[in-house]
Amino acid sequence: MTIKTMFKDFLRNLAIDNVTQISNRYTEITCALNKHFRDNNSKTKNTLQVGSYGRRTAIKGISDLDMLYIMPSDKWDTYKDNGQAKILCDVRAVILARYPNTTIKVDRYVVAVEFTNFIIEICPVFEQNDGSFKYPDTHAGGKWKITKPREEMQAMQGLNDDKNENLYCLCRMIRAWKNKVGINMNGLLIDTLAYDFLKSTGEYDNKSYAHYDCMCRDFFEYLSELPERGYYHAPSSKQQVYVKQKFQKKAKTAYENCLTAIQKEGSNSVYKKWRKVFGNTFPKSQVIESRNYPQTWDNTEEFIEDKYSVDIRYSLNIDCDVSQDGFRLFHLKYMLLNKMSLKAKKKLRFHIQKNTTPQPYSVKWKVLNRGEKAKKLNQIRGEIIDDAGGEKQEEVTSFKGEHIVECYILKKNVVVARSQISVPIE
């Protein structure tokens, strides 16, 4: 399979597969709001799809959708003076009447409607003469804020056209990487960084799928070399887009993995290398590897992407206490950082070190054994298991190998945070 075909299939795998369902929810909400505030039944007028979905950079599994509902201008006097909470409560009441059995919450400047596999956040706004919108913020002490999503969407569309439609594709692929490595980067930050990268180079003005390997390599190098900053400026609108988690180190690792994948072009292992960058949404090899010996071990590894939608929106870090006979020695991350050996017969207590996900949520773990010893003993493991309580997972170092433990945080059956730690036993 050629590079062109691989990346075409990759992007096809990333395509949103519930567009009709999302569209139906948007139109139902729009109709309910129009009926209440304007006394008409339009399903399309006075609304604007924004966020990743509106910018056309979202991918399969998106669980957080955004829309603006443009209020009638004659309602401004009703809400302008300290009316932020009132307008949100009024919008909530209208939507609750349409979906009486659905969880609907007011959250600072949106009304969040929690459907089975995604949330739609509706922000009521008043359109200004310059095309911007005033929106409520219940934490702003009575002040209305300004947003300019049309400018951002037009800027994205313009550069995408100028770059042979490569901008949207790059944004989607980087979302797959974000979900694979578990880094908390919101959609607008990804789109802003991809926009800035392609704006800075003419290398991919006329290139397409056959050069996406190099485009990804160059973007990750660009990302890894950016200085640490608290925020970036969104395309055209220049609104501040905040950095929630440093990305340079993981981008550097992705860059190095891209280099390895490009070196493997033409070999069957190239698929594994790209899947190391982008995860299981990248195509698998269609060639069945031949063996001169029978496989004596069961491949029991499971993949979280096969069981749940993945849409990383929060930060998660796990660590491990290493002890023997109840005496704690070190944190595993400290040992790895200082190149200390991890021997057998040690007790391991994996635990969550940092988790920004708001309650309620559920926790799952994956313990994967690697290496010839694991195969010989038929102890690959790798199943996705529920947390037994206390947000921890206890293990014992038994045999040599480059083992892996991963933790997942789920909200409403969507993986919203993940973290992985390597366990190299000598």
Contact criterion met (CB below 8 Å) for 407 and 418: yes
Residue of 55, 58, 27 lying closest to 42 (CA atoms): 27
Return the pLDDT at 339: 67
Of 182 and 394, more confident: 182
- The predicted model gives 7-29 an average pLDDT of 95
Question: What is the end-to-end Cα distance of the chain in Å, rounded?
Answer: 38
- The predicted model gives 177-201 an average pLDDT of 97
Beta strands in 4-116 (DSSP E): 47-50, 64-70, 103-107, 110-114
User: Edge-to-edge, what's the strand order for the sheet holding 347-355?
Assistant: 327-331, 316-324, 347-355, 392-396
- The predicted model gives 314-321 an average pLDDT of 92
d(CA 313, CA 130): 32
Sign of CA dihedral 285, 287, 288, 290: negative
Residue span(s) of the chain under CATH 2.60.40.10 come to 297-425
Return the pLDDT at 380: 84
Query: Residue 261 pLDDT > 90, yes or no?
Result: yes
Q: How many residues does the chain have?
A: 426
d(CA 3, CA 21): 33
- The predicted model gives 257-267 an average pLDDT of 92
Residue of 191, 162, 185 lying closest to 52 (CA atoms): 191
d(CA 122, CA 98): 14
Return the pLDDT at 292: 61
Tell me: the pLDDT tens digits for 44-69? 999 999 999 999 999 999 989 999 99
Of 323 and 382, more confident: 382
Residue of 281, 90, 248 lying closest to 180 (CA atoms): 281
d(CA 82, CA 274): 52
Tell me: the pLDDT tens digits for 280-290? 999 988 765 55
Of 252 and 421, more confident: 252
Return the pLDDT at 102: 95
- The fold adopted by the segment(s) 17-147 is Beta Polymerase; domain 2 (3.30.460)
Give the residue ranges of DSSP H helices in 225-361: 248-263, 270-278, 304-307, 332-337
Return the pLDDT at 372: 82
User: How many CB atoms are closer than 10 A to CB 74?
Assistant: 8
Tell me: the pLDDT tens digits for 104-160? 999 999 999 999 889 999 999 999 999 999 999 998 787 899 999 999 999 999 999
Beta strands in 30-144 (DSSP E): 47-50, 64-70, 103-107, 110-114, 119-127, 133-135
Tell me: the pLDDT tens digits for 236-250? 999 999 999 999 999
Provide the β-strand partners of residue 120.
Answer: 65, 113
Tell me: the pLDDT tens digits for 355-412? 999 999 999 999 998 878 878 888 888 999 999 889 999 888 776 677 889 999 999 8
3-state helix, strand, coil in the chain (%, to 5): 35, 25, 35
Residue of 279, 270, 91, 77 lying closest to 174 (CA atoms): 279
Tell me: the pLDDT tens digits for 210-235? 999 999 999 999 999 999 999 999 99
Query: Residue 209 pLDDT > 90, yes or no?
Result: yes
- The fold adopted by the segment(s) 297-425 is Immunoglobulin-like (2.60.40)
- What global pTM score does this model have? 0.91
Ramachandran angles phi, psi of 275, nearest 5°? -70, -25
- The predicted model gives 8-34 an average pLDDT of 96
DSSP label at residue 44: S
Residue span(s) of the chain under CATH 3.30.460.10 come to 17-147
- The predicted model gives 258-281 an average pLDDT of 92
DSSP label at residue 131: S
| Residue 404 tokens, joined | 């892996």
Residue 323: CB partners within 8 Å, gap ≥ 6? 329, 346, 347, 349
